């Protein structure tokens, strides 16, 4: 991932490992009028980009199409706190989301919820693929600091 902050706790390889293995949804933030809108969605990390899918009628999709940029964060909710955040330009596409949708369903659900899988795939022609091209990225990892505090 290019544009990694010099203050990032992780290097590019560590960042890639975290993003490839993480099943934490990405939190996407966009400016919706006077207030931020924050949505958690499933993602895939591919070739230095973050890819998400959202229904074309969703508030998130409509705002991403209009704004063409966002903030994002992928971070654990449990100690030790660690994660990745950044800012990205966004490219949207309609009609190209089935492959990514199938991959994120497999990543997050596996074979555990066929009813939800079927419902999501039944709407695929109305799903939009959004590719987030990071312009600035950083990471933090409080693992070491938190270990010392618990000793």
pLDDT for 55 equals 94
150's tokens: 């618990």
Angle at the Cα of 43 from the Cα atoms of 37 and 49, rounded to 5 degrees? 95
* β-bridge mates for residue 144, sequence order: none
Instruction: Tell me how far apart the terminal alpha carbons of the chain are, to the nearest angstrom.
Output: 35
pLDDT for 76 equals 87
61 phi/psi in degrees, rounded to 5: -60, -50
DSSP per position, 58-78: SHHHHHHHHH-EEEEEEE-SS
Which domain, by its residues, includes 120? 12-150
Query: Model confidence at 145, in pLDDT bands (50, 70, 90)?
Result: low
Asked if the structure places residue 46 within a domain, the reply is yes
pLDDT per residue as tens digits for the range 103-143: 999 999 988 888 988 998 988 999 999 999 999 999 998 76
Asked if the structure places residue 19 within a domain, the reply is yes
Asked if the structure places residue 85 within a domain, the reply is yes
Distance CA 66, CA 54 (A): 14
Asked if the structure places residue 1 within a domain, the reply is no
Counting the structural domains of the chain, the total is 1
* Among 23, 18, 14, 66, CA closest to 41: 23
- Centre a 10 Å sphere on the Cβ of residue 93 and count the other Cβ atoms it contains: 11
pLDDT for 144 equals 65
Residue 146, pLDDT > 90, answer: no
pLDDT for 143 equals 66
pTM equals 0.89
Residue 96, pLDDT > 90, answer: no
pLDDT for 148 equals 54
Q: Once rounded to an integer, what is the mean pLDDT over residues 77-95?
A: 92
Query: Model confidence at 26, in pLDDT bands (50, 70, 90)?
Result: very high
Asked if the structure places residue 5 within a domain, the reply is no
Query: Model confidence at 67, in pLDDT bands (50, 70, 90)?
Result: very high
With a pLDDT cut of 90, the percent of the chain lying above it is 71
Asked if the structure places residue 72 within a domain, the reply is yes
pLDDT for 82 equals 92
Asked if the structure places residue 7 within a domain, the reply is no
Beta strands 43-46 and 127-141 are unpaired
Domain of 27: which CATH number? 2.30.110.10
Asked if the structure places residue 91 within a domain, the reply is yes
């Amino acid at each position: 991932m290019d544009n990694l902050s010099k203050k990032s706790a992780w290097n590019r390889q560590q960042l890639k490992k975290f993003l490839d293995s993480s099943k934490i949804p990405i939190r996407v933030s966009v400016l919706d009028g006077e207030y931020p809108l924050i949505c958690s969605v499933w993602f895939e990390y591919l070739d230095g980009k973050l890819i998400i899918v959202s229904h074309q009628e969703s508030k998130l999709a409509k705002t991403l199409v209009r704004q063409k940029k966002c903030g994002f964060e992928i971070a654990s909710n449990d100690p030790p706190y660690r994660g990745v955040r950044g800012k990205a330009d966004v490219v949207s596409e309609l009609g190209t989301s089935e492959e990514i949708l199938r991959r994120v369903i497999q990543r997050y659900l596996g074979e555990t919820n066929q009813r939800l899988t079927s419902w999501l795939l039944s709407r695929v022609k109305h799903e939009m693929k959004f590719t987030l091209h990071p312009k600035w990225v950083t990471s933090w990892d409080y693992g070491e600091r938190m270990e010392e505090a618990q000793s």
